[in-house]
Structure formats: structure tokens, C-alpha cells
Chains A and B, each alone.
Chain A
Amino acid sequence: MARKIVIDPVTRIEGHLRVTAVVEDGVVTDAWNTTTLFRGFEIFMKNRDPRDIWHFAMRICGVCPTAHGWNGVRASEMAMGVGRMDDATRLVRNMMEASQIAYDHILWFYVLNAFDYVNVPNALRAKPTTPALRAVQDQVRAVVESGQLGPFAGQYWDHPGYKLPPELDLELTAHYLLAIEAQQTANDAGAVIMGGKFPMIMNYAPGGVTQLPPPEQIAFFKSRMTIVKKFIDDIMIPDLLAIAPHYMDLANEGKGHGNYLSWGVLDEKSQDPYDRLFPRGGIFAKDLTDTLGFLSTKPGAAVVPVRKVDPDDTRMFTGHSWFSDGTGNGRHPLEVGQEDIEFTQLAPIDGPELPGEKYDWTQAVRYGNDSLPMEVGPLAQMLVSYGSGRAEARAVVDSTLRAIGAPGKIELLQSDLGRIAARVLKAKINIDNAVRWAEELEALGPKAPVNSMPEVPESGVGKGGWDAPRGALCHWVRIKDHRVDTFSAVPASNWNFSPRDDKGVRGPVEECLVGHTVEDAERPLEILRLVHSFDP
């Protein structure tokens, strides 16, 4: 029998999200995602001083403000006629971003995601092997016995989908506590020491950065990132490999449309987006079936065809959003605003009513002439890196597949489990390169130029195109009469959590949900897993 499920709120995310699904015989047959928050950035950015854009833009997301800062400052720079960044600016911005990626991925793996796989109460059944683990177990027991479970209350802990042995549950619970410190350390390294605070950094400014970090700050960055690297190498990656064998069924769930997009992130000296540490590129499902695609079984020989992609091929649709139908119409983000609000209704949670024609504050974002829904995020970034022949990406992906007994089967990454793995592996490549940015900066010496604040011109157009930790992010700005005429932002969750477009094609997460197993409709743990694998 078909049954409607509404999860509202989806917790352990940034912002506010509802997911509605229809489940029939243990399988999702249809799904809708609804962003239940609207603030109107594109409206209140009008007529502002273009130099201020990045400060406003960081408030789009307090989890990944540094990437919004980069996009905002770069879009305004381009609109003001600034070409390449000074090399010191490039490196400082890379260090800030590396700090953010490290914190974000640790925070996501343990704090936002782990409770879907790690059963905290079950840790009480473990036999602790060290005094530290015993202390953690005693603390968990004290919380449970107090009857005040706090954040651990109410989860489906008795769901059969929790598969880890008690010893692993205990170890992962202990690592959860360590991870809180590890993500703080990652933030301290860059955002806090060079940016003044986190979230909401202070050291970017149109034309560059506010200052060349003094040597003590650079040394601090290196020492803290070295500690974080130890955490990722010695704890986070082993945790991934320890968990994965217990959840291999999730390597066959949640594939979706199979289109992937990355604008790239972390600039090398060339400042070419295709040359970034995580390069720009798109992978299209059609190409995968036309070629051998992921079919190769020889380790290291898989072919992943990557195409060049342009942020200006982004298209917006509003047929299923709470904006007037004419607002989107498949136009470029700069030609689309948020002003014609057309709120209809939010479907009631109880009762059989499904989401209506319009059901989302997010506009449907699509790519190119075919208006394709694209998945963005670490999975897309790792596949694009792999397909672009990056040695580091190939090494970590291939070795991970070997470690879980599936050598060469890169198609397993197109799944719930694959997204988790991709995020951890991306964290490793990021941290392995973090100290390099600092060393390059030191090599530039103490007099390296860091800023040439431009005059605000009468008119101009600019864009960013630099991935946030959770995926492709781009800001656009048009200047007219020395003021912001139009600002537009398309963050990662606008791609992944797009509603249906005007042709009725589901957004990426909606499509991934369809066909997904849900063992017990009363306790839809599997839906939370899939949604969290996108880090909304």
C-alpha cells in the first residue's frame, strides 16, 4: 500500500528542509524536496556598494561562508575590472578555503552524518579495549541513565539498519568527541587565525586580501593543519574503511540522474579553473552509456569522460517554485530574480495531500541547452578529478576500492556510500596539499603585493565559480550606475535540492530517492541517509 512520508525538519543540515516521499512495498515511488526558508538576498543586494557584496554573500551560508566570500569578492572584482589575483592573494584564499574544507568534511562525517550509521546506545554493549574508550562509555552510560538523552533522544536506535558491532559503535562515538576538537583545529588554522573568526571571515577585500599574513600566522596554519592531517589519516579514513564493509548494500542505493558538475576549487599558479586542485568539469550520463564509461574492471583503467563546463550555461526554472512562472523560464541567473513571489501553500504534513504544483523556495537549476539536472559535491569533484587524470584522485579512489574488496568498480561511488567515501577522500587530498599553499606563500617574501582595491566603475559584469565544500557554487553581479544592479547566487543545494523543472524532470535528490529502499515507513532511516549524503 502506498504511504506518504514527510520528514520536516530534516535535521543535521544547514538551513531548513522538508522531504516528502511516497513509499510502496518498501520502495520510494516518488519524492519532493522543499526548502522551507526564504530570505531574499537577490532583492536586498540591489543598489548596494559592489565592494560590500562578499560580506553580504557570506551570510547565505554560515557553514561554508568562506566559499561564498570567495565567490562574492571574485564576482565583484571581475565586474570592477580586476583580472588575475596577485599570487599572494591566490594563496591566502587557498589557505582559507583549505581550512574550511577540512573543518566542513570532518564536521559532516561525524556530527552531521554519523548518527545515521553509528548507534550510540549500542556502544554500551561494547567491551572497551582502552581506558579512554572505557571513559567514553561511562560518559554515555551516565547520560543514558540520567534519562536526559539530549541530542541522542528520539532517533530510531532500534532500527535493524544499524549494522555496526558495539565495539565499532563505541569507537566511533569516541571519535565523534575528538572530531569536535578536530574541526575546531581546522578552523583555527585558517579561518580564525587569518580571518579573525569563524564563521564570517574578515580578511578578503575586493582587489585581494586585507594583509599578507605575518609569519606567525603562516607558521600557526602549518602546525594546525599538520595536526588535522593526522586526524584525517589516522582516524577519519580508518573509520570510513571500518564502517564501509557493514554498509555495502548502500553502494547500490541512490544513484540518481548520473550527471555531475564541479566548477573547481583551489587555484594553482595558472589560475585556470581546469588546472585547480579539484578541477572544473562536467560528467554527463549520456557520455557514460555512449562510451565504456565506468564499465572497466581493471583498477586504474576506468574511463570517466569529462567535458568543459561554463557557469554561464546555468539556467533557472520556476514552474514548481514559489515564484511566478515567468520569473525563471530557462534564463541565465542574472536575468532571473526573486521578486515575483507567488507563494501558494505548503502541503499539510498529515493526511494524504501531496506537494502541489508549486512546492519550493528553491528555483530549479539546470545545465546547458538540454536543461540537465546536475549532482554537485564531493562525489562530482572526485569523479571529475579522476576523469581528468589527477594522480592523487586516482590513487585514493583506487586504493579505497581495493580496500573494500571492489577493485576498479568506480561505479560503486554513484551511491549513498559512495558520497560518504568521496567526501572523506576529498578531505584527504585537500589536507595533503594544505601546507603546500603556505610554503608557496612564504616563498613570495614579506613584501608580496596583496591588494589593489579597484574604483567602482559605472558598469560591469562579473562572476565567481568556485565550489563550496558541499559542491558547485557561483555568484554573478551586474554593476550599473556604480551600484549593484543585479546579484544572483546559485549555491550547491540549489543544484542538488532543485525541485522539478518546467518539463517535470525531478531534481537530483528527488531522483535519487525514487527506487530507494525504505525498510520501515514508520522509521525512514534510509531517506535520512540519502539526504545527508548530499550534505544539505
Chain B
Amino acid sequence: MEEMSSFPGITRREFLKFCGALGVMIGVSRLAAPEIADALATLARRPVVIWSQFQECTGCSVNLLQARRPNIAQVILRAISLDYQEVVMASAGDQAEGLFQKALDRGGFYYVCEGAIATDQPYAMTVGGKTSVEIVKAAYPRAKVTIAIGSCACFGNIQAAYPNPTGAKGIGDFLRNEGGFPDARVVNISRCPGQAEDMLSTLLYIVTNNKIPALDPIGRPEHLYRNLIHDKCERRKHFDNGQFIRAFGDDGTRKGWCWAMVGCRGPLAYAPCPTNKWNGGLSWCIDNGPCTGCSEPGFWDTLTPFYDRSPDVELPDGIHPSTIGAIVTGATVAGIAAHAVGQTLTHRMGHGAVMETVPGAEATDEEATEEAESAGAPPSSDGADRPPAGNDRQEGE
């Protein structure tokens, strides 16, 4: 943006840069950029992506337009054929519906879903006169891989908050339990909104490798969601040292201390926030306030009230909760139980992501173990554009 004369997505050099960023995001070396570029370039047709929006706020689509690792314009012009996406597509009405139907008839597309399925009140969500129930049941079996972006499509999210007036459900939950696809597999990219860069890099990994990454017990790519936010948080040292913000704007806030006492849910949520961050890696929630745990199923019910310290967060040794102000009840964490299965929760996990083959998709390689140092890739090397993050502040003492 600073050089307004350059247009994105145009030259081979920029495309290689894009592929390099992509390589880093999906956990292979930046040096693999030419291979990724060739893999994309040698496809006879750009892979078709169809994007449905159900019960949603369009926030995931808006985050898609914020993506720059990889850059969204380059993705659309060079890497994929985004044949149906309501926010960006030129056509509307029956023209748009015709494109959707054409993709379904051909099959073999990559299906991205944003938003929840309205199951109890199906007409609470229609597109082209069809309910979300009808649309997803028709599209899922024709798709090569289905990706749920954002916590609505993954787990139902806000419209599923008690008492869930419309019977909102996540895509996978609906397909497996009501939709007639008991073995349905959906790749979940949770958080609210869905982090589009995570989704795009996962999608393009699947495209170039013809397999999906290993998933955790609730359907999320393990290499992205294996760590507690808390364990990778750059403010973790303040938690360990008992240095807490007690009220917004206090001295501890100015020093960049830990938000746990004012409600941070980082110790209860699994997501690559501390490493991948948001909006091109510029910032993340913890730079500016406490985490709400938006990557976890049911967080509107299980992790609220947001501003009360959760009793499920164990404090470091030597600090007794009774010295720390109000303790409020209510939080139980569905995600925790799910995660405890087959996972070691340690502070620093350095293992690469184990990939597994997509059922129904032809695998080209054996299982690969990638060399990702962490789920989150470091931001791209053109660091000159990086802003000063709030947490870089020097401590006063």
C-alpha cells in the first residue's frame, strides 16, 4: 500500500514471494516456494473453490479480504478459481445460483463454509430459496474437501448460544448427526472470525499435496491448534511471575503484564494466535485486551462472564486466589476434555505436524512430517512494515 504504483498478483517474482509466504504458513521452508509455485502452475485448471455463507455475520469473509499471507488478490487471480463467494462475486440472483449449481454438477471442488446450519428453524437461513440444511446436504457429497471457517461453521458459535433459538449447529456436527453423513469429515478452522490466512494456507496445502493435515479430536488441524494460547503467549512470563493487570488502564496495563485476573481465557483456549496472530501478523488480542477463548466450542456459554477470572485457571505457585479479588463461577470447558485425549499439554511443543491422508482424495506422498518449528509461521521477512506491538514495551522496573 505504501507504493501505490505496484499492483498485487502480477509478476512471477511476486508470485514466488506469495508462495514463499504460503510455504512458511503451512510449515515447509520458504525455500520450497518454487516447488509450490510449480505445483500450482502445473494444475491444468485452477482448483475451484465454492464458499457458502449460512447463519453468519460476514466477518469471516471480511477477514478473507484482510489476508496477506498469502495475499488475497493473488490467491484469487493466480492460485484458485473462486467460483462462488457472495461477498466478492460480481453476479447475483439466478446467475449466481447457476454458478453454484454448475460447480455442484461438476463436483471435485473445495467447499468452504462460513456460518452455522439452522436445524430447528430451517427457514431462519435461506439462499436462493433453499435452506442451509438443503444446501450443505447437496454440496458436501460433491466436494473434494470441506473446510469450515470460523467458529459458527465449526461449532455453531453465537447463534448456538443458550437457548439456541434456531437450533444452530456446526457443519460437521450437522452432517454427522442429522444430515445422513455419519462419517463426514470437515476441516475446522475455528476462532471468531475465522482466521483467513490459516484457512487459505490449509486449503492450498491440501491442493498442492492432495491430502489434509492431521486433525485434532474436534476437527482442527493439529499443527495449528495443538498449543494452548497461554503456553505460547509472550506475556506468559508475567503470569509465571505473578505480575497481573488488576484493572484496565492500571500500572500493570502500562507495563504489558498478564490479563488473567481481568478475564483472559488464553489458558483455556487452543489456537495459533500467539504465533500466526491476525491481519497479516500485525497484532493480536493480547496486545490490547484479554482473550475470550473464541476458538473453543460453546465459549459464549462456557467462558462467560468474560471479565471474571476463570476458576479453571490455576494460578502460579505462591499466589492464592483469595488475594486476587472476585472469583466467579460458571466456566467449564468443553474443549479441554476433548483436547486431553491423545495430547500432551506442555508449555513448548516443538514437534512438526503429522499429516494424514484425506479419505476419498488420492494421496501422492507417504505421510509427511514437516519441519515446522511451530504452528505459527514467523511473519514474512519484509519486517520493515511491521508495527510496534504493544507488548514490545520495556518494563518500567
Contact = CB atoms under 8 A, between A and B. Distances in A.
Interface in A85-126: 107, 111-112, 115, 120
Secondary structure dominating the interface of B:
loop
A351 to B, nearest CB: 11
19 contacts: A10-B93, A12-B86, A38-B118, A40-B159, A48-B304, A52-B305, A56-B161, A115-B90, A139-B7, A153-B91, A178-B4, A188-B387, A193-B387, A196-B284, A212-B254, A214-B254, A214-B388, A217-B390, A451-B247
Contacts of A38: 118, 121, 124-125, 166
A391 interface: no
Nearest to A6: B93
Interface of A: 6-16, 36-40, 43-44, 48-49, 51-52, 55-56, 59-63, 65, 107, 111-112, 115, 120, 132, 135-136, 138-139, 143, 146, 148-156, 174, 177-178, 180-185, 187-188, 192-203, 205, 207-214, 216-217, 219-220, 227, 230-231, 235, 338, 341, 343, 345-346, 348-349, 361, 446, 449-451, 453, 524, 528
A138 B5 CA distance: 16
Given A7-B93, A200-B193, A59 B289 contact: no
Nearest to A8: B128
A43 B164 CA distance: 9
Given A12-B92, A154-B95, 14 more contacts: A9-B92, A11-B96, A12-B88, A139-B9, A151-B88, A154-B96, A156-B91, A188-B282, A198-B63, A200-B59, A220-B387, A341-B165, A361-B124, A450-B248
B360 to A, nearest CB: 23
A136 B164 CA distance: 47
A205 B245 CA distance: 14
Interface string B114-142: 00001001011111110000000000000
A23 to B, nearest CB: 14
B238 to A, nearest CB: 14
Given A192-B282, A220-B388, A62 B56 contact: yes
Interface stretch (B71-79, B222-230, B349-357, B368-376): B71-79
Please indicate which of the listed interface residues B59, B87, B92 has the most CB atoms of chain A within 10 Å of its own CB: B92
A528 B86 CA distance: 14
A412 to B, nearest CB: 27
A182 B86 contact: no
A62 B99 contact: no
B322 interface: no
Interface of B: 1-2, 4-11, 45-46, 48, 53, 55-63, 65-66, 68, 72-73, 76-77, 80-83, 85-99, 118, 121, 123-129, 157-159, 161-166, 168, 192-193, 247-249, 253-254, 278-280, 282-290, 292, 294, 300, 304-308, 387-388, 390, 392-393
B99 A197 contact: no
Contact of B57 (A40, A60, A181, A220): A60
B57 A61 contact: yes
Contacts of A111: 65, 87-88
B192 A59 contact: yes
B5 A132 contact: yes
A214 to B, nearest CB: 5
Given A43-B165, A52-B304, A56-B300, A181 B95 contact: no
B289 A210 contact: yes
Contacts of A449: 249
A14 B76 contact: no
